[in-house]
Structure 1
Amino acid sequence: MKTEFYTLGTFEFPADAVIIKGKLEAEGIAVFLRDEATINSDPLISAAIGGVKLQVYSSDKELAKQIFDEIRNYATDDLGNPIVCPNCKATKSEIYYSRKNVFYKLFPFFEPRKYQCMQCNFVTRPAK
């Protein structure tokens, strides 16, 4: 039997993923942290491999998303204000890196920061 996983979120630091993992497991959802050991052994490569991926079984996806949405922190600007999506005006955005360019795959810390709206999936760069 083939088991499918759903990546609920990615985190730069394993400690952030462990907190969410604890909450989901307390609700009876099995959680897997992909690349956690790699990043724990060398934290400087977190951006290069895309961070720690918090994964759940696809069958638990909807319940896990609901729990995660209740406790997650969304992106904010330098003043602590939530990033507002220019497309749908929602305040539920997260940092997004596309890494489509070979240069950014090799040196991800040079890629300009973008934000992806969790409501409409619109990707934008912040106004300067």
Structure 2
Amino acid sequence: MWNSYPQRGNMQLLENFLSPIDAHIILGRMLSEGIYAVVIDEDIIWNNYMCSQALGGVKLLVHQADIERAKSILRQIEDNKFMLDNPEPNLENAKSSTFQCCSNSLMNTFLVILLFLTIGIALPLKTNFHSSP
């Protein structure tokens, strides 16, 4: 079945995924590295998501010439080599922002309860947890 199209003649299975979303994330990485890859059986899984494991999941096929390189990229992804760098948090700002976050949350909870007791309607209030210093 995999070789029914001429362009899939030299393709080899790299990985099975239970979710088509996961398969497309890895597909995007492979294509950005210059490796020709194809996702197959995703339509079957989208239509019958609960049977994903029974059907073998979504398959990511890679050209035979690039299979070793694709496996090394997949290992690097599993080892979190492609994660974005997060700057080290400043502890002084973290303590003050945590206190401010908790006090804002407490004040909003109090206002929601007060509005519910006076009007009879609970209105959720928007909070801004990520305020800039």
- What range describes the TM-score normalised by the shorter chain of this pair? 0.5 to 0.7
Aligned counterpart, 2:99:
none
Bigger Rg over Cα: 2
Structure 2 residue corresponding to 1:24, chosen from 19, 30, 42: 30
The CA distance in 2 between the partners of 1:47 and 1:64, in whole Å, is 23
The CA distance in 2 between the partners of 1:72 and 1:33, in whole Å, is 19
Query: What is the number of residues matched between the two proteins?
Result: 73
Aligned counterpart, 1:35:
41
Letter in 2 for 1:10: N
Structure 2 residue corresponding to 1:60, chosen from 58, 66, 76: 66
Higher helix share: 2
Root mean square deviation, CA, Å: 1.7
Q: What do residues 36-70 of structure 1 show as CA deviations (whole Å, max 9, x unaligned)?
A: 11101220121111111111011110111111110
Q: Where does structure 1 lack aligned partners over 5 or more consecutive residues? A: 74-128
Runs of 4+ in 1 over 6 A off after TM superposition: none
The CA distance in 1 between the partners of 2:15 and 2:35, in whole Å, is 15
Higher strand share: 1
Identity of paired residues, percent? 38
Q: Where does structure 2 lack aligned partners over 5 or more consecutive residues? A: 1-5, 80-133
